[in-house]
Structure 1
Amino acid sequence: MPIKNVVVNCTDVQRSIEYYTKFLELRLVGEPTPERAVLDAVTATIELRAVGNGRELSTWVGDDLQKGFRHIGFKVDRLDERAAVLKAAGVEFTLDPLDAEGAVRICFFYDPDGTLLEMIQGDLQYAAVLDEHGVARERALGVPQRPRFDHIAITIDDRERTSAYYAEHHGFSFIGTIEQPHDNRGFSIGYLKGGDTVLEVFTYDVDKTSRAPQLDVAGFAYAELDGNPPTGLGQLVSPNGTTVYVDPDGFAFAVGDHRTSPKV
């Protein structure tokens, strides 16, 4: 079962619409309002919601040792060409295009309100394949004709606990790992696949910090997953009244069918 929708808070919905439709070729679903817009990202939707609190009030920091949400990833073609367009427009990058572990090419940059985004080109070559069928389904998606939502990355404490929870409650399968041998923090990445989407989980051998989710400031708010409402997890209520659950690492998600389905 996949990630259905990703809620991103922004201080100017129209500005964010222009950014995501221009640079990532997402498509509007329905009529936007000053308070909300839904964008089709092929395998999921990105929902933009207006908030009054800007980036400066967020406690999120661009340090992968902070547990919880890290970034939103999109599979693309022509990564270097796309990155050049972003750079020419003055978009802030945290990592210029490079060849990464797993035989993919990647780059990282911010949206207008400080949500960290990644573009990935190519099929991951896993260090260890744990679910050959899941990897085959991933590769069968092929090269996207336009940027396709691929994953949300989160930093966690315990990969076994995380994979067991998302497998049992939301149908994710642990398909493989990528190791980072040149990172002295003991960095390893696990890939939990649900439908055509992925939770990319970061683990480290060093100490990490914690962060409580913020649903009323600019940046990533929460994801919407298939599955049943969990028990035993912390709960928050979003500004629009949605019940949001918080896993042990501080990743925020809602459960249930999102009313606006993406279009291929």
Structure 2
Amino acid sequence: MALLNAVHHIAIISSDYQRAKQFYTEVLGLTIIQEFYRAERQSYKLDLAVNGQYQIELFSFPDPPRRPSRPEATGLRHLAFAVTDIDEAVADLRAKGVEPEPIRIDELTGKRFTFFADPDGLPLELYSL
């Protein structure tokens, strides 16, 4: 019997909350579920939905430390979003000023994918369904 049912959410801490909020909502098109300011922590918490499903918590904290990302640092490697049409998704990102890496082919699945970064350099991936 499996103990885990699904991934409930992913939490991201941004260095610039307003810039990250704009990126995740206006560039990536995630929907705001709710937003809180927690005065005792000097922190925003923004709950976001991907395709109508709650999945990402975006946080701000005063002066968060930088996390090494590349080359292949320990920890979360990247966050991947499934897309139906990767060419359309790449064109949409480019139109919004985001330049993804060249599209590659997953040698195990034959599916197409590409990487890009959020405003803090967090590696994000588009993966073809």
How far apart are residue 11 of structure 1 and its match? Answer: 2.3
- Equivalent runs, 1:67-146 vs 2, <5 Å: 67-93=74-100, 95-101=101-107, 102-122=109-129
Q: How many angstroms apart in 2 are the aligned matches of 1:32 and 1:91? A: 28
Structure 2 alignment gaps of length 5 or more:
38-42
Give the secondary-structure state (helix, strand or coil) at the position aligned to 1:67.
Answer: coil
Q: Which amino acid in structure 1 is aligned with residue 45 of structure 2?
A: R
Counterpart of 1:35 (choices 22, 44, 50) is: 44
CA–CA distance in structure 2, aligned partners of residues 106 and 70 of structure 1: 15
Alignment gaps of 5+ in structure 1? 123-264
Q: Which residue of 2 aligns with 1:12?
A: 16
The count of residues paired between Structure 1 and Structure 2 equals 118
Structure with bigger gyration radius: 1
Shift of 1:110: 0.5
Q: Percent identity?
A: 30
1:77 is displaced (CA, Å) by: 1.9
The one-letter code matched in structure 2 to 1:58 is R
Deviation at 1:5, TM superposition (A): 1.3
> Residues 92 and 113 of structure 1: is their aligned pair in 2 closer, same or farther, counting only changes over 3 Å?
farther
RMSD: 2.2
2:12, 2:59 within 8 Å by CA — same for their partners in 1?
Answer: yes
Distance 1:2 1:86, change over 3 A: same
Q: 1:53 aligns with which of 50, 53, 63?
A: 63
The corresponding residue for 2:40 is none
Q: Comparing both chains, which one has the higher relative contact order based on Cα–Cα distances under 8 Å and sequence gaps of 6 or more?
A: 1
Q: TM-score, normalised by structure 1?
A: 0.40
